[in-house]
Amino acid sequence: MPDTQVWVWRGDASGGDFMPYRVEADEGMVVLDVVHRIQAEKAPDLAVRWNCKAGKCGSCSAEVNGHPKLMCMTRMNEFAPDEHITISPVKTFPVIKDLVTDVSFNYEKAKTIPPFKPKPRDPDGKRRMYQEDVERVQEFHKCIECFLCQDVCHVIRDHEENKESFSGPRFFVRLAALEMHPLDANERIDLIRAKHGLGFCNITKCCTEVCPEDIHITDNAIIPLKERVVSAHYDPIAWALRRMRGKKDEFAPPEPKPPSA
Amino acid sequence: MTQATAVKVRDRPAERTDFWWVEPVVIVAVLGAFVLYSMYAGLAGTNYYFEPYLSPLYSPCITANCVHPTLPIVGSYWNLSPAILIVAFPLAFRVTCYYYRRSYYRAFFWSPPACAVPDARKSYAGETRFPFLAQNLHRYALIFATTLLIFLWWDVFLAFNFNGHFGIGLGSILMLANVILLSGYSASCHSLRYLVGGYLDSFHGKSLRFRLWSWANTLNARHARWAWASLLVVGSTDAYIRLLAMGVLHDPRIVF
C-alpha cells in the first residue's frame, strides 16, 4: 500500500496546530489504525482516547475532515489517494491534549436528570411492560455515549454561553427514554423545558446525521418531547381540558433566558 | 513538521472542504421560487379556474366574487384576490412544519448552514423567543390545513365531471396527485403522530391508537419526501390550470 499523509491536530488548552504525518496505509485500515501507527512510529506522545475499536465504546470520537466521526468506524478507503485528511479533537469540549477532550460537561448534565422511579406494582405483586412499549424506548438505549451528537449540536458548539441552559441531544435521548417509559412515575416535562432547554433546539437534525448507532434522535426523541412540552405549556385546548378534568397545573419554572450577545 | 501556534481548537476555521453549501443553495432556490410564484399566483386573482379545474391555491373559494365559489361566506365587498383568505392556513402549516424548520433554519438563517459548519450569528436563542416561540402551535396549523383537504378532495371529485359526463383530463390527474400528496404530507406530520397516540406512555389496551401511531410512524419516516413532492405538485397544478385559463395550453382529456 502507498504512504498516506494525514494532518493531526497537536496541542493543548493553550493552543496548537495541525501537524503532517506520513505513514504506510494497509488495506482495510481505519483512521484509528493510522493514529496508532503514528503513535508507534512517529509520535509516541500523541494523545488519543480509544478502547474497543468496534464502534461500541464511544471513546474515539474526533473530527475527520471536519465531520464528527468515530475514528474506529471511518475507513481510510473513503478518502481519495491524494485527499488532504485532517484529524482533530471534537470542537465542543475543552482540549486536554491532542485528540483528547474533557467531556465532563456531559457527566454534570447527566446528574441533573431525575432517575427512573418505578410505578406501584400490579395487584399480583408484579410489574408488567408490554412488547410495543419496549420497542419504542429500546432505540434510545442503543446510545453508546460517544457524544458526537453533543459535538455537532450548534447550540453549544458555536455558542459556549448556552452550555448552562442547554443539555444537548444525548440528554434528550435519555429524557425521552425515561419520559416514554410506561413504568416510570417521575414527571420531567417542566424540567425538560426550563432546565434542559429543549426550546433552544431548532431541529436541524445534525445530531441524527452523526449518530453512529442510527438513533433517530430528532424525530423519535426531541420532537415527541417538544410535543409533550407544547401540551403542558403552550396548547390552550390541552390546558382547558386539563382544567375541566380537574388536573392542577404543575408549577412551571420560566423558560431559561438566553444570554445576550 | 510545522511549529505549533497558539490557535485554540474552538477558534480553528471550519475544516469541512466538501460541497456542504449545495444543499442550502438548492433549498433557497426551490423554496424561494415557490414562495415568489405562490405570491404572484395568489395575489393575481385571475386565471385560477378552468372548467372543471379549480387551482388548489384558491380552494375553497369563499368570496362571492369568485369565478367558481365553493363556499361563498364572504360578501362581494371583498375585492382582493380570494386566495388571500385561504393561503395563510397551508402557509402556516408549512412554516411551522418540523421538516421545513430544519430546512429553512439551515438554508435561510444559516443556523447552522450545514452540520459542523459555524453558525452565521454570534448569539442564538433557538425557539425560546417570539416569533419562533409560535412554532409550538404547529398542531393548530395542522388541524386547519387538514380541514382544507376536504375541499380539495371535493374539487378533485368535480375535476372528473365534464358537463355531467365522467372524464379524465390531464388536469384531473394533476389535481388527484396533488390532493394525494397533500394528504400524505398531513398524515405524516410529527404533530399528528403525537396526537393520534404518541402522547401515551403505554399502548397496552389501546390498540386503535397504537395502530394509528404505527401508521403515522411509517408515513413520518418519509415526511421530507411528502413535503417536497406536495410542494412541487401544488405549484405545478396551479401553473397548469393558470396556463389553461390563459389559453396557452390545451388540456388533453377523455370524456365517456
Residue B2 is predicted with a pLDDT of 44
The whole-number average pLDDT for the span B17-25 is: 94
∠ at Cα A116 (A113, A118), nearest 5°? 155
Provide ipTM, 2 decimals. 0.91
- Full domain range(s) for residue B159: 19-122+130-255
Residue B73 is predicted with a pLDDT of 86
pLDDT higher than 70, residue B1 = no
A258 and B106 within 8 Å at the Cβ level: the answer is: no
Is residue A154 within 8 Å of residue B111, measured between CB atoms?
A: yes
A133 neighbourhood in chain B, CB within 8 Å: 201-204
- Do the domain assignments include residue B9? no
Residue B10 is predicted with a pLDDT of 72
Sequence ranges of chain A with CATH classification 1.10.1060.10: 104-244
Among B9, B14, B198, the residue with its CB nearest the CB of A224 is B198
Sequence ranges of chain A with CATH classification 3.10.20.30: 3-101
A199 neighbourhood in chain B, CB within 8 Å: 126-128, 133
A19 and B126 within 8 Å at the Cβ level: the answer is: no
- Do the domain assignments include residue B109? yes
pLDDT higher than 60, residue B110 = yes
Fold for A3-101, please state it.
Ubiquitin-like (UB roll) (3.10.20)
Q: What is the pLDDT along chain A (261 residues), one digit of tens a residue?
A: 578 899 999 999 998 999 999 999 899 999 999 999 999 999 999 999 999 999 999 999 999 999 999 999 999 999 988 899 999 999 999 999 999 999 999 999 999 999 999 999 999 999 999 999 999 999 999 999 999 999 999 999 999 999 999 999 999 999 999 999 999 999 999 999 999 999 999 999 999 999 999 999 999 999 999 999 999 999 999 888 888 887 655 444 445 556 554
- The DSSP symbol for A248 reads P
Q: What is the DSSP string of A38-63?
A: HHHHT-TT-------SSSSS---EEE
The grid cell for A96 is 486536554
A91 neighbourhood in chain B, CB within 8 Å: 9-10, 12, 116
**What separation, in Å, do the N-terminal and C-terminal C-alpha atoms of chain A show?**
51
Pairing of strands B165-169, B253-255: antiparallel
For the domain bounded by A104-244, which CATH number is listed?
A: 1.10.1060.10
Q: Which of A206, A210, A190 is nearest to A198 (CA)?
A: A190
Residue A209 is predicted with a pLDDT of 96
pLDDT, mean over chain B: 92
A11 neighbourhood in chain B, CB within 8 Å: 4, 7, 9
pLDDT higher than 80, residue B9 = no
Domain count, chain B: 1
A182 and B122 within 8 Å at the Cβ level: the answer is: no
